[in-house]
Structure 1
């Protein structure tokens, strides 16, 4: 790329009132007053609406933003299909759904020059991207910054870094994302990933369905879990750059590329609610028992993507953040259970309190619907004999992508060398302790 690059200093603005209208301008006067699409937009810009929902959806769920840009998005050459690499998209048909409990080590080291897009590796998923239902689990491992721009027409991308910081250059501005943060790129928003360290590794949930939102709090009341005020959007920034620039678009499961003669990250001002954001998981306000027993894991939900069935999510994003355990006469690690939902769990840092070993940062486990799981034998023995005094769990940060349908693996995930071959062994040795009274 050549030419003049202009942008504001990196910054964030609070999304006070999650999902409500927000705006930012990199140049004073770039946002029009009172009209979204005046006859002549300010400063010679083009007005363009980006819709993340149908025009006629209810106001509470309607997602759209107005972008005031140097060139309209329509000014580009044709796209041609390109190689997908390790990316796969629903429907997943390479393997049959597997009821076994599965666990993977972290992705192996990538080859030199692997950027975020080339480093995406699909584990599996469900639904059908062309019908806007379901989700996919991806991991990434990269060692080079992108010099191309990417957008995903199939779904929104929830990025969960585990190693290495990222600077996401988006149409709306820049998001600085570190491990223990998550970033969301809405459907169709163009972005480029710059690495802030020598390499970067983490997880991505691609949500084909209704956009993520904050869960309802019900009897919790007005406060708790993730607070709307802690989600932050980028300050407007723009690139006034002449091409060539490679732009890659994911559409119905395939990657398509075109070479623009300018950067598409040329939005000078914006307003709306279809915007990227970042959230610091350390700000999650954990709610838990102060008497006995466990609340269900749903109490740790950060974001939920609702389905057509009330209370049944297409996908939930759940975080097991630092918290106090104080329950009386209660087995404190997560209990043994089977679940109608399917759970992919990853580890950002430290250790997870239900597993003694084998579950490591950058790795992950899959427990599909109704597969029995819970603490391993060593954890069970230790927790059953532990002194029940107040205990701070602050040596790890784990999360789940929890989904309504089974996660079907890709062929390369089912055959991966980093798939642990003997995961079931962690439950060996759970001996019979039953002693009838008579």
Structure 2
């Protein structure tokens, strides 16, 4: 997070006594990143945040990954993964699409039932809301979400998803912390004038969310030497017992409609579309925008080789000029791996000349380690995509 917030009641001096109306001493918890040498918040609990009474295994959904070998670009149709259109749990129903040791991408179509209480102890989560609305209830308070929101949840933040309507969620789960690109920030952490969004566009909790309960279960995703595993911790009291907190670490939303696109006379490189970054990966978005205005400009991207990264594009809405003729449509993912040059379909280049605007919305993740396919990625693949630039595939002669 890049700015300070205070919600509820906190004492005038940190690390001093803070009592409720009845004189009871509240328990202070410091939630901090990077060994308490980075962003943090102080939370004041009615109960004891460490008081667990049981621990059991949570059998995670299939987390296996399959290498992209032999190497080829891939097209994954995410909307085919939930053919009935809705009904899965927002957390436990996520299906793993792509991943590596730095980031994992999952997809789920929810119903309206809330998720269990959940904590990702592996890294921060950045969940893009393709469609739907609801609330994410957290230990910091409630955060409403709507279509087009990125919902950013810090590592180890207890929360649950409460959809008010069926929602399509594209979950980017880091093994690190996520935040604005450093080039957008002042040396003190303020978003600068050239950044494509500002603090006014970020929306966090506004008041505490207090709940009562005993023997409350929290589903925890965490790491062991064997990889990512799950545990169900049962707490003596409800984790949502925080009467107040302050600091610079908390869940918040940012709506993609607030992103101000950076354009130029000729085609701009992908970093101008960047919105967040984690360790060894970045998140970008391509929004409706005026495109290149040089009289000889070619609006669609030039062919490019990601020599250091894999590129994942999730097509959310609109008309994709560069991908016409490839089979890609709304709900598609394209995976273009490092070591393979990719770009527009051949017919799309001439067709784009003279176009003044692109009406498209897409979320891109670039990684600096190879991505592998999860079970959902394998299940959703369009096997013809890799050969779409040539118009023919293995065993097919030139016509």
TM-score, structure 2 length as denominator? 0.87
CA apart distance, 1:192:
0.6
Cross-structure match for 1:378? 347
1:361-384 C-alpha deviation (Å, 9 max, x unpaired): 33311111122211123322412x
Paired residue secondary structure (2:311): strand
Paired residue secondary structure (1:216): helix
1:300 aligns with 2:311: no
1:172 to 135, 140, 159: 140
1:239 aligns with 2:202: no
1:70-97 C-alpha deviation (Å, 9 max, x unpaired): 21220122321121013x2xxx654455
Counterparts of 1:284 and 1:215 in 2: how far apart (Å)? 17
Alignment gaps of 5+ in structure 1: 1-17, 128-133, 308-313, 431-438
* Aligned residue pair count: 375
Paired residue secondary structure (2:200): helix
Structure-2 change in CA distance of 1:145 and 1:360 (3 Å): farther
CA apart distance, 1:189:
0.2
Counterparts of 1:211 and 1:162 in 2: how far apart (Å)? 20
Structure-2 change in CA distance of 1:297 and 1:419 (3 Å): same
Q: After superposition, where does 1:286-325 map in structure 2 within 5 Å?
A: 286-289=261-264, 291=265, 293-305=266-278, 307=279, 314-325=280-291
Counterparts of 1:24 and 1:74 in 2: how far apart (Å)? 22
CA apart distance, 1:217:
4.2
- When the two chains are superposed, the root-mean-square deviation of aligned CA atoms in Å is 2.4
1:3-28 C-alpha deviation (Å, 9 max, x unpaired): xxxxxxxxxxxxxxx52322111xxx
Structure-2 change in CA distance of 1:111 and 1:222 (3 Å): closer
Cross-structure match for 1:207? 174
Q: CA contact under 8 A between 1:98 and 1:408: conserved in structure 2?
A: no
Alignment gaps of 5+ in structure 2: 186-190, 393-399
Cross-structure match for 1:436? none
Cross-structure match for 1:47? 28
1:360 to 329, 333, 343: 329
1:398 to 348, 362, 370: 362
CA apart distance, 1:221:
7.2
Cross-structure match for 1:22? 5
Counterparts of 1:81 and 1:401 in 2: how far apart (Å)? 31
Q: After superposition, where does 1:220-299 map in structure 2 within 5 Å?
A: 222-252=193-223, 253-289=228-264, 291=265, 293-299=266-272
1:123 to 97, 105, 115: 97
Residues 201-210 or 247-256, more deviating: 201-210
Cross-structure match for 1:81? 57
Counterparts of 1:243 and 1:400 in 2: how far apart (Å)? 42
2:183 to 198, 216, 224: 216
Q: Which runs of 4+ in 1 moved over 3 A?
A: 39-44, 92-98, 109-113, 259-262
Structure-2 change in CA distance of 1:98 and 1:52 (3 Å): farther
Paired residue secondary structure (2:383): coil
Counterparts of 1:200 and 1:65 in 2: how far apart (Å)? 30
Q: CA contact under 8 A between 2:54 and 2:235: conserved in structure 1?
A: no
Cross-structure match for 2:128? 160
